[in-house]
């Protein structure tokens, strides 16, 4: 894909978003008290410096989603999403994992439709949160893949990178809104990127987080480690780590009745909840919190690497930031690493 | 249509097996077939669904049977259903038993409780090509004589020259003439060469654990022992995440596993 840079002025970017509302439901992360929350675009836009509180998973499979009325054939059509302000930690690893789950083998049509039709306008991080550690997974704080368009703040506007045919088409359809980029802008753009990488490198270097190549073996050899019971003791099973994680995908199908007859829906579920593995007789493979905590890590650092050679973690730090019990993935791996060295 | 939506089946017959177990005979509205050992998701419309392994012959094309023990919310709904009701089915899912690998072998089939249900499907499939196998030993353990399922068919299962059928109950009234003892007590003095035989086990987790240990002790090779595992499942398609254990989805990579592949995993018997 050609990665040439274009430039779009801020007011033209608003025009672009306005144009996109014709075909898309446009969402962007809006700031409230230094955090960003996905909000529907209604004419005002401000750039988000870092990731939103929740991942973009909600634009792929809704938290509660109709599967449909059964014993009937009926499909509903709604506008796809245009996701503005997704960060690298929403895309790299995350979409690879979600695509494997929902598209490999039996295809989940709802998901496929979202992936095919959604437009992703991602953006560079221009600041970092205390919990950010994407670099530990080799993910840069600016998207390098899996976007249609990527924007990077520049003077009075944004440097725009095209990442897909669809992105190219959008630029072509709106070509009056774009300008060629100047070499000063290009230099400024590169400088900003290298500055944020430096800042993040420093932050990650202070974590004692093991090399990513070691995580699989640390996990595999760490089932009996004392870190699981000691950390899990504090877990209150709120599920924040699951619901906000860009790679979590587990769900529960449910059946109910509605005015049209019988209805099946799907709701996000997760392995930190007590009854996740409970069977009717009462047995439950993950009956203790320590088993459940460990299970989440097995899935992300052993199962997915063995299936698709990808860690199901993007270093977004959401599970760390959102945990009321301060269970910290970065510290758990530092502990496993320490305990396995001695 | 979404892959999570069921097709219609009519419940045409209910057979009372025990006070807590019934066999349901379903007539699918759209063509349906399965390999023995595969499972289905049965839907009670508007109320819920759960995974079950059909207990009928895979060669029977116009209807299938599922034997269900009443243990929870969804199974209770099925137990209260009436003949003639229209319910739903999705599937079949999972791998099923590798019948071709059993060819020319001596087979030991061990069932516990309602775990005989999937094995009955297997037995039908094996009997349909009985000349492919050297010898079949079937060992079935139930909690008590009242808990024995398929009572009306057991004689028919025994009535095969190549088959030996052993039955035991955990406990019984003095009037019971048969064996008393858990199913592992039937596994001594097997009329087969355990070193080369194939074992197939289905039952409650604790039973499968101890039968597996016993089979290893008897000399069975771990890659010739097949277990039909069950876990909480929602989608049946390897997507919802519920039944994953270690590196396997029980629904998609199983539900039939070689003991070899799972024996060293944590939590597998829970």
Please report the pLDDT score of residue A76 as a whole number. 62
Q: Is A87 helix (H, G, I), strand (E, B) or coil?
A: coil
Separation CA B145–CA B167 (nearest Å): 10
CB count within 10 Å of CB A272 equals 26
Per-residue pLDDT band at A191 (split at 50, 70, 90): very high
From chain A, pick out residues whose CB is under 8 angstroms from the CB of B88: 70-71, 262
DSSP state, residue A222? -
Probe site for chain A from B41, B69, B92, B232 (most A CB atoms < 10 A): B232
Give pLDDT tens digits for B188-236.
Answer: 999 999 999 999 999 999 999 999 999 999 999 999 999 999 899 999 9
Separation CA B205–CA B4 (nearest Å): 28
From chain B, pick out residues whose CB is under 8 angstroms from the CB of A102: 239
Please report the pLDDT score of residue A1 as a whole number. 46
Which range has the worst mean pLDDT, A277-286, A288-297, B172-181, B232-241?
A277-286
Q: Is B151 helix (H, G, I), strand (E, B) or coil?
A: helix
Per-residue pLDDT band at A2 (split at 50, 70, 90): very low
Do residues A54 and A129 lie in contact, with contact meaning Cβ atoms separated by under 8 Å?
no
Say which residue, B155 or A66, is predicted with more confidence. Answer: B155
From chain B, pick out residues whose CB is under 8 angstroms from the CB of A252: 234, 240, 242
CA atoms within 13 A on the CB side of A68: 18
Nearest CA in chain A to B243: A277
Please report the pLDDT score of residue A281 as a whole number. 82
Mean of pLDDT values over B249-253: 95
With CA atoms as reference, report the closest residue to A93 among A312, A295, A276, A336.
A312
Sheet holding B179-180, edge to edge: B179-180, B163-169, B135-142, B106-112, B198-202, B225-228, B256-258
Give A256→chain B minimum CA distance, Å: 4
Nearest CA in chain A to B68: A280
With CA atoms as reference, report the closest residue to B142 among B180, B177, B189.
B180
What radius of gyration do chain B's Cα atoms show? 18
From chain B, pick out residues whose CB is under 8 angstroms from the CB of A70: 5-6, 43, 45, 88
Nearest CA in chain A to B267: A285
Per-residue pLDDT band at B126 (split at 50, 70, 90): very high
Probe site for chain B from A60, A112, A285, A295 (most B CB atoms < 10 A): A285
Nearest CA in chain B to A259: B46
Give pLDDT tens digits for B44-74.
Answer: 999 999 999 999 999 999 999 999 999 999 9
Whether B46 sits inside 8 A of A256 (CB atoms) is yes
Give A202→chain B minimum CA distance, Å: 35
Whether B48 sits inside 8 A of A68 (CB atoms) is no
From chain A, pick out residues whose CB is under 8 angstroms from the CB of B74: 280
H or E element that contains B210: helix B205-217
Whether A277 sits inside 8 A of B232 (CB atoms) is yes
Do residues B68 and B80 lie in contact, with contact meaning Cβ atoms separated by under 8 Å?
no
pTM flag (> 0.95): no
Give pLDDT tens digits for A89-148.
Answer: 999 999 999 999 999 999 999 999 999 999 999 999 999 999 999 999 999 999 999 999
From chain B, pick out residues whose CB is under 8 angstroms from the CB of A297: none
Domains of chain B listed by start with CATH number: 7-92 (2.40.30.10), 99-228 (3.40.50.80)
Whether B246 sits inside 8 A of A298 (CB atoms) is yes
Residue A66 predicted with pLDDT over 70: yes
Do residues B102 and B136 lie in contact, with contact meaning Cβ atoms separated by under 8 Å?
no
> At a CB cut-off of 8 Å and minimum separation 6, what does B205 contact?
A283, B269, B270
Residue A260 predicted with pLDDT over 70: yes
Residue A4 predicted with pLDDT over 90: no
Q: Which of A73, A223, A255 sits opposite B1 (nearest CB)?
A: A73
Q: Which of A108, A264, A280 sits opposite B71 (nearest CB)?
A: A280
Q: How many CB pairs under 8 A join A and B?
A: 120
Give the pairing type, strands A261-268 and B21-28.
Answer: unpaired
Please report the pLDDT score of residue A74 as a whole number. 55
Nearest CA in chain A to B244: A299
Q: How far is CA A202 from the centre of its chain?
A: 23
Probe site for chain A from B2, B74, B76, B255 (most A CB atoms < 10 A): B2
Share of chain B above pLDDT 90, in %: 91
Whether A303 sits inside 8 A of B8 (CB atoms) is no
Residue A259 predicted with pLDDT over 90: no
Do residues A270 and B234 lie in contact, with contact meaning Cβ atoms separated by under 8 Å?
no
Residue A283 predicted with pLDDT over 90: no
Please report the pLDDT score of residue A24 as a whole number. 97
Do residues B73 and B232 lie in contact, with contact meaning Cβ atoms separated by under 8 Å?
no
From chain A, pick out residues whose CB is under 8 angstroms from the CB of B6: 70-71, 264
Nearest CA in chain A to B3: A108
Helices (H) and strands (E) in chain A, counts: 13, 11
Distances (CA, A) of A94 to A304, A308, B242: 11, 12, 19
Give pLDDT tens digits for A291-339.
Answer: 999 999 999 999 999 999 999 999 999 999 999 999 999 999 999 999 9
What radius of gyration do chain A's Cα atoms show? 21
Nearest CA in chain B to A102: B239
Mean of pLDDT values over A236-264: 93
Per-residue pLDDT band at B264 (split at 50, 70, 90): confident
From chain A, pick out residues whose CB is under 8 angstroms from the CB of B8: 71
Do residues A86 and A146 lie in contact, with contact meaning Cβ atoms separated by under 8 Å?
no
Burial call A291-324: b when 16+ CB within 10 Å, e when fewer = bbbbbbbbbbbbbbbeebebbbbbbbbbbbbbbe
From chain B, pick out residues whose CB is under 8 angstroms from the CB of A267: none
Mean pLDDT value across chain A: 94
Please report the pLDDT score of residue B180 as a whole number. 96
Mean of pLDDT values over A237-258: 95
Whether A252 sits inside 8 A of B240 (CB atoms) is yes
From chain A, pick out residues whose CB is under 8 angstroms from the CB of B50: 280
* ipTM beyond cut 0.90: yes
């Amino acid at each position: 894909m050609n990665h040439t840079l274009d430039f779009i002025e801020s007011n033209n970017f608003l025009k672009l978003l306005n144009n996109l509302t014709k075909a898309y439901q446009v969402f962007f992360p809006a700031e409230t008290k230094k955090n960003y929350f996905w909000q529907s675009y209604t004419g005002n836009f401000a750039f988000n410096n870092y990731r939103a509180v929740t991942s973009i998973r909600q634009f792929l499979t809704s938290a509660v989603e109709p599967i449909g009325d059964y014993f009937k054939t009926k499909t509903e059509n709604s506008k796809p999403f245009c996701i503005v302000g997704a960060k690298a930690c929403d895309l790299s690893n995350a979409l690879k994992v979600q695509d494997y789950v929902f598209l490999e083998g039996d295809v989940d049509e709802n998901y496929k439709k979202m992936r095919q039709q959604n437009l992703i306008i991602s953006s560079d991080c221009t600041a970092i949160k205390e919990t950010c550690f994407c670099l530990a997974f080799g993910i840069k704080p600016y998207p390098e893949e899996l976007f249609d368009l990527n924007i990077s703040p520049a003077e009075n506007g944004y440097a725009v990178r095209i990442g897909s045919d669809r992105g190219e088409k959008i630029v072509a359809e709106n070509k009056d809104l774009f300008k060629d980029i100047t070499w000063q802008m290009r230099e400024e753009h590169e400088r900003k990127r290298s500055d944020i990488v430096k800042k993040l490198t420093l932050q990650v270097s202070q974590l004692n987080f093991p090399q990513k190549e070691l995580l699989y073996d640390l996990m595999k050899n760490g089932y009996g480690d004392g870190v699981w019971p000691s950390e899990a003791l504090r877990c209150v099973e709120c599920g924040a780590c699951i619901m906000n994680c860009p790679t979590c995908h587990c769900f529960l199908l449910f059946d109910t009745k509605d005015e049209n007859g019988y209805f099946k829906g799907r709701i996000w579920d997760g392995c930190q909840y007590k009854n996740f593995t409970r069977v009717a007789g009462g047995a439950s493979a993950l009956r203790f919190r320590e088993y459940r905590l460990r299970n989440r890590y097995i899935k992300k650092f052993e199962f997915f690497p063995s299936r698709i050679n990808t860690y199901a973690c993007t270093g977004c730090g959401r599970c760390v930031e959102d945990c009321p019990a301060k269970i910290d993935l970065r510290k758990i791996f530092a502990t496993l690493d320490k305990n396995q060295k001695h | 249509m979404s892959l999570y939506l069921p097709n219609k089946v009519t419940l045409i017959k209910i057979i009372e097996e025990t006070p807590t177990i019934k066999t349901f005979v379903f007539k699918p509205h759209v063509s349906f077939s399965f390999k023995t050992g595969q499972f289905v998701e049965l839907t009670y419309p508007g109320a819920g669904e759960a995974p079950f392994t059909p207990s009928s012959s895979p060669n029977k094309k116009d209807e299938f049977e599922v034997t269900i023990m009443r243990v929870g919310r969804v199974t209770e709904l099925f137990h209260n259903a009436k003949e003639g009701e229209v319910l739903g089915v999705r599937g079949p899912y999972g791998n099923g038993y590798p019948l071709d690998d059993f060819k020319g072998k001596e087979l030991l089939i061990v069932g516990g409780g309602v775990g005989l249900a999937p094995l009955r499907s297997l037995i039908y499939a094996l009997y349909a090509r009985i000349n492919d196998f050297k010898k079949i030993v079937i060992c079935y353990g139930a909690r008590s004589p009242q808990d024995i399922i398929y009572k009306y068919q057991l004689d028919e299962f025994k009535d095969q020259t190549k088959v030996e059928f052993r039955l035991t109950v955990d406990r019984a009234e003095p009037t019971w003439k048969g064996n008393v003892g858990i199913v592992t007590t039937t596994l001594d003095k097997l009329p087969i060469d355990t070193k080369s035989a194939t074992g197939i086990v289905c039952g409650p987790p604790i039973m499968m654990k101890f039968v597996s240990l016993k089979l290893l002790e008897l000399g069975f090779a771990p890659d010739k022992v097949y277990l039909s595992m069950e876990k909480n499942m929602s989608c049946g398609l390897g997507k919802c995440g519920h039944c994953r254990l270690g590196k396997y989805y029980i629904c998609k990579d199983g539900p039939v596993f070689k003991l070899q592949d799972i024996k060293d995993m944590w939590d597998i018997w829970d």
